[in-house]
Amino acid sequence: MLVLGIETSCDDTSAAIIDSEKGIISNVIANQNSVHAKYGGVVPELAGRCHIENIHEIINGAVKEAKIVLSDIDLLAATQGPGLVGSLLVGVNAAKGLAFALNKPLIGVNHLEGHLLAIFLQEEVPFPFLALIVSGGHTDLYVVKDFGDYEILGRTRDDAAGESFDKVAKMLGLGYPGGPEIQKISKSGNPTAIKFPRPLPNKKSMDFSFSGLKTAVRTHLEKRASGKIEEFSIPDIAASFQEAVTDVLVSKAMSAAKANDLDRIVVTGGVAANANLRLKMTEAGEENGITAHFPKPVLCTDNAAMIALAGLKKYQRNPDLGNDYFELDAKANLPLTDCKEQ
Ligand code: KG4
Ligand code: ZN
């Protein structure tokens, strides 16, 4: 079965073709980094406009790269939410138009389910496992019991980890998106130069909080500017910040896995592309008898292959859903725990 996935939840326009037997055939992604860079974050109106400009070329690109024609597609899947409504609408409506023209089923996909299942595009991970979704909009812990069966354990109470990377990068005068920039500059910095706080709101709770850490960096920069403290370099500040974020993510993920008797962790979402996080999670896992799995970086950040796979799994659970797409609408908020009922 050939599935066309379409992803436009934030600032990446992506289309992919996956084969239910062979996996990814094409996965075309266009970012809008140059459009948003000068603002240090995504501007929703500009994001929606860019998706409109790019969507047809990206879909045609994915079809061409897969060496198929549109009528070969058996199923369509598009991100329905959560995300920016103006962005989501572009993908949802392009998918509806194509599904109608091709007379093929269409499934609305939860973006978070896409991130959760991205790992299955490269390897089989036995259920159950702990999943940490760590992206620009989310920092969530789930027990993944089966396809479509997800239990939330905790989430961020304020900023997502990726959001804190982006905001701190902006404060440090680095580019957008901030995560890769901080990772790059941190290579020449000392991660133990500054002891930033490791916010763990409540040891028993599985929730996260990153806004205090961001404020700690801002306060440090203000004191540095007024000459009140020793002047550390920008790479030292970036490396110390990255160390604090990854310490928190690793320690929460380890305690959640242990508390739920899980010996496998899947780390996914844009921040899971971070080399420091991948290394520390793997090492902590080895110490605790827990295997850490990561999708390769291109499957961690937003991409349509993961949406095609999540759509395929949802369709296999309930094929009738594929014919019901006239009512499909973009949703800014869409909890993942609704997946089982849909
Ligand atoms: O999953 P994603 O592509 O989009 C959302 O669903 O949010 O994640 C984007 C986030 C951005 O905040 C970006 O700075 C962060 O992932 N990110 C990274 C890295 N690559 C992307 N953060 C840390 N290190 C990276 N290498
Ligand atoms: Zn995402």
What's the CA gap between 95 and 89, in Å, rounded? Answer: 10
Task: Provide the pLDDT for residue 199.
Answer: 82
Q: Is 183 in the pocket of ligand 1 (CB under 6 A)?
A: yes
Domain 2-116+300-339, CATH class in plain words: alpha beta
Q: Rounded to the nearest whole angstrom, what is the distance from the C-alpha of residue 178 to the centroid of ligand 1? A: 8
**Rg of the chain (C-alpha set):** 20
Q: Is 274 in the pocket of ligand 1 (CB under 6 A)?
A: yes
**What is the position in ligand 1's atom list of the atom closest to the CA of 161?**
12
Q: Confirm whether 2-116+300-339 and 126-294 share one CATH topology.
A: yes
Q: Is 81 in the pocket of ligand 1 (CB under 6 A)?
A: no
79 lines ligand 1 (CB under 6 A): no
* Structural domain boundaries in the chain: 2-116+300-339, 126-294
Contact 235, 186 (CB under 8 A): yes
Determine which residue's CA is closest to atom 8 belonging to ligand 1. Answer: 270
pTM over 0.85: yes
Reply yes or no: is the peptide bond before residue 128 cis, omega within 30 of 0: yes
Residues in CB range of 283: below 8 A, 6 or more apart: none
Is 17 close to ligand 1, i.e. is its CB under 6 Å away? no
**Ligand 1, atom nearest to 273 Cα:** 26
Ramachandran angles phi, psi of 129, nearest 5° = -145, 165
pLDDT of residue 204: 80
Res 203: pLDDT: 72
As a whole number of angstroms, the distance between CA 300 and CA 314 comes to 20
- In the prediction, which pLDDT does 310 show? 98
- The arrangement of secondary structure in 126-294, i.e. its CATH architecture, is 2-Layer Sandwich (3.30)
pLDDT tens, per residue, the chain with 342 residues: 999 999 999 999 999 999 999 999 999 999 998 899 888 888 999 999 999 999 999 999 999 999 999 999 999 999 999 999 999 999 999 999 999 999 999 999 999 999 999 999 999 999 999 999 999 999 999 999 999 999 999 999 999 999 999 999 999 999 999 999 999 999 999 999 999 999 875 678 899 999 999 999 999 999 999 998 888 999 999 999 999 999 999 999 999 999 999 999 999 999 999 999 999 999 999 999 999 999 999 999 999 999 999 999 999 999 999 998 999 999 999 998 755 554
Measured between its terminal Cα atoms, the distance across the chain in Å is 22
Sign of the C-alpha dihedral, residues 116, 122, 124, 129? negative
Ligand 1, closest atom to CA 177?
14
Residue nearest to atom 7 of ligand 1 (CA): 136
Q: Locate all alpha helices (DSSP H) within the chain, ordered by sequence.
A: 33-36, 44-65, 85-102, 111-117, 161-171, 178-186, 211-225, 234-259, 275-288, 297-300, 304-317
Does any ligand 1 atom lie closer than 6 A to the CB of residue 166?
Answer: yes
Short-list 24, 31, 22, CA closest to 302: 31
Distance of CA 20 to the CA centre of its chain: 22
